[in-house]
Copies of this chain bind each other. A is one copy, B any other.
Amino acid sequence: MQCVKCGAKAVYYSVYSGHSFCAKCFMKSVEQRVRATINRYKLFDPEDRIVIAISGGKDSQVLATIIAKVEKDFPGATLSALIVDEGVPGYRDFGLRRSKELCDELGIELTTTSFKELFGYSLPEIVSIAEQKGVSLGACTFCGILRRRAINVKAKELGATKVATGHNLDDEAQTALMNLLRGDVVRLLRLGPKPVEEFPGFVPRVKPLRYIPEKETTLYAYFKGYPLYEVECPYVRESMRDEIRSILNEIEGRHPGTKYAIVRAADRLSAMGASLKVRVGSCKYCGEPTSRDVCRACELLEVLGVTS
Q: Which of A63-71, A89-97, A175-183 contacts B (4 or more CB under 8 A)?
A: A175-183
Q: Is A280 an interface residue (CB 8 A)?
A: no
- State in angstroms the CA–CA spacing of A247 and B272 once bound together: 29
Which chain B residues lie closer than 8 Å to A176 at the CB level?
180
User: Which one of B180, B255, B264, B272 contacts A177 once the chains associate, using CB atoms below 8 Å?
Assistant: B180
Identify which of residues 239-291 in chain A touch chain B, using a CB-to-CB cut-off of 8 Å.
Answer: 240, 243, 247, 250-251, 254-255, 258, 260-262, 264-265, 268-269, 272, 275-276
Select from chain B the residue with minimum beta-carbon distance to A248.
B181
User: Which one of B183, B188, B261 contacts A182 once the chains associate, using CB atoms below 8 Å?
Assistant: B261
- State in angstroms the CA–CA spacing of A308 and B184 once bound together: 44
Q: Is A185 an interface residue (CB 8 A)?
A: yes
CB distance from A126 to the nearest CB of B (A): 24
- State in angstroms the CA–CA spacing of A269 and B188 once bound together: 10
Number of interface residues of A (CB under 8 A): 28
| Given A251-B243, A269-B269, A272-B272, residue A258 in contact with residue B181 (CB < 8 A) | yes
CB distance from A273 to the nearest CB of B (A): 8
Render A86-118 as a binary contact track against B, CB cut-off 8 A, 1 for contact.
000000000000000000000000000000000
- State in angstroms the CA–CA spacing of A172 and B156 once bound together: 44
Which chain B residues lie closer than 8 Å to A240 at the CB level?
255
- State in angstroms the CA–CA spacing of A181 and B276 once bound together: 24
Select from chain B the residue with minimum beta-carbon distance to A269.
B185
The answer to whether A264 and B180 touch across the interface, beta carbons within 8 angstroms, is no
The answer to whether A181 and B262 touch across the interface, beta carbons within 8 angstroms, is yes
CB distance from A199 to the nearest CB of B (A): 21
CB distance from A244 to the nearest CB of B (A): 8
- State in angstroms the CA–CA spacing of A25 and B262 once bound together: 42
Which chain B residues lie closer than 8 Å to A265 at the CB level?
179-180, 183-185, 188
CB distance from A250 to the nearest CB of B (A): 8
The answer to whether A183 and B255 touch across the interface, beta carbons within 8 angstroms, is no
The answer to whether B254 and A243 touch across the interface, beta carbons within 8 angstroms, is yes
Select from chain B the residue with minimum beta-carbon distance to A252.
B181
Which chain B residues lie closer than 8 Å to A250 at the CB level?
247
Interface residues, chain A, with chain B CB atoms under 8 Å away: 176-177, 179-185, 188, 240, 243, 247, 250-251, 254-255, 258, 260-262, 264-265, 268-269, 272, 275-276
What are 11 A-B interface contacts by the 8 Å CB criterion?
Answer: A176-B180, A177-B181, A180-B265, A181-B261, A185-B265, A185-B268, A240-B255, A247-B250, A247-B251, A269-B269, A272-B276
Q: A183-B260, A183-B265, A240-B255 are in contact. List 17 more A-B contacts (CB 8 A).
A: A176-B180, A177-B181, A180-B262, A180-B265, A181-B261, A182-B261, A183-B261, A183-B262, A185-B265, A185-B268, A185-B269, A188-B265, A247-B247, A247-B251, A269-B269, A272-B272, A275-B275
